[in-house]
Structure 1
């Protein structure tokens, strides 16, 4: 269920309960091809309010050229891959979402 997925994210420390924030977005539930639930957050209003960064992303072949032959590489596993990189503290409240069980 959606509640179980939210509780799992809470228990893993990927999300936390917030009492008050000027930013709040609704969740949207979709069903994957395998029948499992996918929890999404509708950040369209947040996207409209944010300042656009005009930072061009490098091409992947340029990145590969830079790391080729290096001694160390970074690896992120596929489990909860969207939660692998923390959002900086000053922006965390902007990612707040609401559920029937709270925010």
Structure 2
């Protein structure tokens, strides 16, 4: 099954582990943010789902980043779990990775009539995190201390790491003449309908074979 049933239903990318390198060996710990009762309930609900799916685990790390909820337009409520990583991001070694240029994409697709956008579900969570780096991602809520088993949202290296992984897969499978990704969004473009269906099928097979949803 390649189509996800919810944001916690994510794939696991094969043969890759993300690493988090620091410029200095420094521990960053902050207290949990105060929040409303309804926000606490939403946070507890999401933590339970993340634990159930193995995306996070209990932590004894000296690190502890606070958590907040942001408004999510699609769900029309505060449901986006945000880990506040600004202090950690200051000491994370950056990842350099080029992103596609809009003008180049327009030039490549100038003769195309058919376009389809595919979105990788909860994209960063598909990337396993190296075991010895998990403690660096630790965060704290009003009722517990946790750390990520996968690449978290909010970490400055997550977008370039994901861009590199997916764009490399597209090139390795010789799909770059009709598919391009910008982080977790994959644009498929074709000149005719028959080719477009075939192109989409090839991209979906690539995603499935590599563990994405």
Please identify the structure whose Cα radius of gyration is greater: 2
Relative to structure 1, is the Cα distance of residues 76 and 93 closer, same or farther in structure 2, using a 3 angstrom cutoff? farther
TM-score, normalised via structure 1 length: 0.71
> What is the aligned partner in structure 2 of residue 26 from structure 1?
66
Q: Does 1:57 align with 2:98?
A: yes
Structure with more strand by fraction: 2
Alpha-carbon deviation of 1:36? 4.5
2:77 aligned with 1:35: yes
Equivalent of residue 7 in structure 1, options 48, 68, 84: 48
Q: Provide the aligned C-alpha RMSD in A.
A: 2.4
Q: Identify unmatched segments of 5+ residues in structure 1.
A: 62-74
Counterpart secondary structure, 1:22: coil
Q: Does 1 or 2 have the higher relative contact order (CA < 8 Å, sep 6+)?
A: 1
